Every structure is written in C-alpha cells, then in structure tokens.
Amino acid sequence: MATVNNESSLHQRRRPLTDQELDAIPWIHLLEVRERERAQDDLRIADASPGDYVCRIGRPVTYWFGVVDGLLKMSTDNAQGQTMTFTGVPPGGWFGEGTALKRETYRYNIQALRKSRVAGLHVDTFHWLLDHSIGFNRFVMNQLNERLGQFIAAREIDRLTNPDIRVARSLAALFNPVLYPGVGELLQITQQELAYLVGLSRQRVNQALAHLAAQGAIRIEYGGLRVLNLQALRNQIFI
C-alpha cells in the first residue's frame, strides 16, 4: 500500500460536496428542508489515497464519516502487533455513529484501501440532527441494528476454518443493502483488497471466488464482483 498520510492532510483537502455527491448520501433525502440545509452547509468531502487514515485509534471523534466512492477497511492492532480487520466499508456506507453518539475516542482504525471519496458530517451537527429529525433518528437506529448483526456475523466468520465460507460470508456482508446502499449488485474490489478484508492470501481468495462463480453465486467481472445470489452467499447454499 502507499505511504500513509495522517488525518490532518485529509482534513486540509476537504471541500463542499457537489450536487451529485450530495445525492449519493442515503440519509440526506430523509431530512426536512431546514434539516437538509443545515446538513448540506456542514458536510465536507475529501479524496483519500490508498493508505490514508480517515480515523485512528485514540483520536477524538470530530466527524461522522461516509464513503461516497472507493473502499475503506476497519481494523485494529492486537498486543502482538498483528492487524485484525473487522470489516470493509464500500460506497454508501456510513460508520462511527456509536463513537459519535458517545463522543468517545476511536477504538479502531479506518484506512483507505483504494482511492476513495470520504464525506464527513461534524459531530455537533450529527447531534443536532438527532435532536431535530425523526427521519435521521430512524436512519441511525437502523444503522446501529444492522451493525450489531454485522459484527455478530463477523465474529462467527473469524471462527470458520473453511476459506470458501469465509470469503462467501465476507462478500455477503459487503453487499448489505441497508449499510451499503451505494454498492448495488456490483462491488468494485480487487482480489488483493478482498484478501486484506478476509484475512487470507490472494491466491486462496482467488480459489474461493472461482468456486463461488462456478456454483453461480457470483460473477467475476473486470474491476469487481457481481452478486448473482446474495442469499446463497449468506446461507452457503452453494458451498
């Protein structure tokens, strides 16, 4: 991966969102006029290069973040210095609402795996919307509920010894339509990026993807993966 830049450089590159970028934010359409104007005035976006940290363990929360385009990973380092990846964050995904709610320091790192556009809503405006918008509250509540299910599933994945099942379950998580509405049916991801997220070698991930493709669960396309049967990935019907 590229040389890591710190969060301050990302903060310095922030700018207002274009109309097209605003339209890609799923919760913006749930707001009333006054609420939307407040959010639009505060929202900022920046281009993150591969290796850039969006947030880092121990840093205070200042923004609630979302991916407009690209791919991030959420991870932490254990006592032995090994990196443990929790999940990937593809387009449409907003994350860190639990940390923002409690105004805590981050307990995980968020790092760009590829060139990405990351939007941020200041934590003060995040709380203002919670105080004033029913639609925003419902969105955040749904996020928290889906996130809980995601991390329960992730713990189960960590205990799986079958690499094909690990890849299938991890892919299914990235196609979650509630958490990542910007993905649709095609996820732009390389086999190396998926290997980082799953915790396997690129060669083993390639074998698992070939197996899933042969069974009709996915189709490997140029620059990404298209899901053909999401329920099969979740339930391991074809594995």
For 24, the 3-state DSSP assignment is: coil
Rounded to the nearest 5 degrees, what angle is found at the Cα of 152, between the Cα atoms of 202 and 120? 75
pLDDT of 164 higher than 90: no
CATH among 1.10.10.10, 1.10.3720.10, 3.40.50.261, 2.60.40.2470 for 161-235: 1.10.10.10
Q: Please classify residue 64 by burial: count the beta carbons closer than 10 Å to its beta carbon, then call 0-12 exposed, 13-18 middle and 19+ buried.
A: buried
pLDDT of 156 higher than 80: no
Rounded CA-CA distance 189/114 in Å is 9
Cβ atoms of 122 and 42 within 8 Å: the answer is yes
Cβ atoms of 225 and 208 within 8 Å: the answer is no
**What is the architecture, at CATH level 2, of domain 7-152?**
Sandwich (2.60)
- The mean pLDDT value of the chain amounts to 88
Cβ atoms of 168 and 208 within 8 Å: the answer is yes
The arithmetic mean of pLDDT across residues 3-24, rounded, is: 81
Closest C-alpha to 30, from 125, 126, 118, 139: 139
Whether this model's pTM surpasses 0.95: no
**CATH 2.60.120.10 domain residues, the chain:** 7-152
Q: What is the pLDDT of residues 78-114, one digit of tens each?
A: 666 667 788 889 999 999 999 999 999 999 999 999 9
- The pLDDT score that the predictor gives to residue 73 is 92
Cβ atoms of 158 and 55 within 8 Å: the answer is no
Rounded CA-CA distance 225/190 in Å is 8
- The pLDDT score that the predictor gives to residue 147 is 85
Output phi, psi for 159, to 5 deg: -95, -5
